[in-house]
Amino acid sequence: MIVPSEFDEIRPYNEEEVSTQLKELIYDPQFSRLLDGLVPWLPTCVRNALLRLSFMGIHTTVAFQRRFMVPFVHYLTRHGSKGVTFDFRNIVRGRERYTFVSNHRDIVMDSAILDILLLDHRFATSCEIGIGDNLFVYPWIRRFVRLNKSFTVRRGLGPRELQKSSHLMSRYMHFAVNGKRENIWIAQREGRSKDSSDCTQVAVLKMLAMGYEGTAPEGLMDMHIVPLAISYEYDPTDYLKAQEFQQKRDNPDFHKSKQDDLDNMRIGMYGWHGRIHYEAAPCIDSWISSLPQMPRNDFFAEVARHINEEIYRRYRLYPCNFIALDELRDSHTFANRYTANEKKEFDAYLDRQLAKVTIANPDMEFLRERMLTMYANPAINQLKLKER
């Protein structure tokens, strides 16, 4: 498959580039220091020799995923969760490729787990992943994610540059799905939902459609969008998100540092998630084709609403979600959804997480309210949907 050169700056590596980029990764000084921390007992020369041997025979990005990412993510989920379940009854293996549009909790794990689930369940391929260039803190990270089938989402652009970049990315995504026959994963909004109230940004949908020469409905149907609900029982970065809420409250000009992003990635990867569930909704092509004609902006708003509802409906709620909702409202409305022991364990969990906050003058009452809100919002959204 020949990929147009206009995509060279944002696409994953091509087959002929993989071997060279693997060698560059091994000898990157910063990547080498990272490995030194992971396996300090292994001399660098021995480790590099073992890596070179293990890289032999890898010529594609999906081969890289199968050789390295699948066992690594399995290791993370074995040690950081009670298990992962995947309900894919609404999508068809081996027919068309899909664009998975999901809620977004964890920088690394959301898409990484989806990849191994697709491969473990014998889908034809994994996903190409949209990842913001704000996370490319070191050159080796950019190289690593491109080996891991990631394409670049440019951040922090002015209006004119953003329009140009979005159009290029959209054209690439249409090419990836319909030319390369790849699945794609992209978050329903820019950045993670800090309060866990999942809402699809109309701007994301407009970006998906703009790279297609046709109507907006045709553009979205060309992407074969599948809403995907990602449910973690616990979010190991919850206290970092709560901390950020206070930092922004106390200083409206606050912006996270590159180190903050690295901390979020590390803690999200190695922290405790409890039970994890992924559930795919039906592809929305048929639903879109059944819509009456409407103004363009109304159309995108209706699609965003539909995706939100599909995610809310399929989000798997755990006792902690109902405990948080009752504590937030100072009620016992949902006491039948959890036990006294589960409540005690969740309160102890919150206390342990809040103890990790490192900012000066932490407002513990505010931070606890923010964390309770994070765990309550998925329940609130699902209950509102059921009340309609």
| pLDDT above 70: residue 175 | yes
pLDDT higher than threshold 70 for residue 37: no
Domains and CATH numbers, the chain: 62-236+271-316 (3.40.1130.10), 320-387 (no CATH)
Residue 63 has pLDDT above 70, yes or no: yes
**pTM for this entry:** 0.94
* Per-residue pLDDT tens digits for 65-80: 999 899 999 999 999 9
Instruction: Dump pLDDT digits (tens) for 209-262.
Output: 999 999 999 999 999 999 999 999 999 999 999 999 999 999 999 988 888 888
Quick one: average pLDDT of 318-333? 98
**54 against 192, higher pLDDT:** 192
Computed over every residue of the chain, the mean pLDDT equals: 93
How far apart CA 87 and CA 281 sit, in angstroms, is 9
The residue count of the chain comes to 388
CB 374 within 8 A of CB 242: yes
Average pLDDT, integer, range 359-371:
97
Integer-rounded Cα Rg, in Å, for the chain is 21
| Selection from 100, 360, 379, 385 nearest residue 250 by Cα | 360
Residue 382 CA to residue 385 CA, distance in Å, equals 5
The mean per-residue pLDDT over the stretch 321-331 comes to 98
The model's confidence at residue 38, banded by pLDDT at 50, 70 and 90, is low
Q: H or E segment at 214? A: none
- Residue 134 confidence class, pLDDT cut points 50, 70, 90: confident
Rounded CA-CA distance 218/245 in Å is 39
Confidence of residue 39 (pLDDT cuts 50, 70, 90): low
Query: What pLDDT was estimated at residue 94?
Result: 76
Q: By three-state DSSP, how is residue 266 classified?
A: helix
Stretch (H or E) spanning 370: helix 364-387
Report the DSSP pairing between strands 275-280 and 83-87.
parallel
The pLDDT confidence band at residue 157, using thresholds 50, 70 and 90, is: confident
Band of the pLDDT at 40, cuts 50, 70, 90?
low
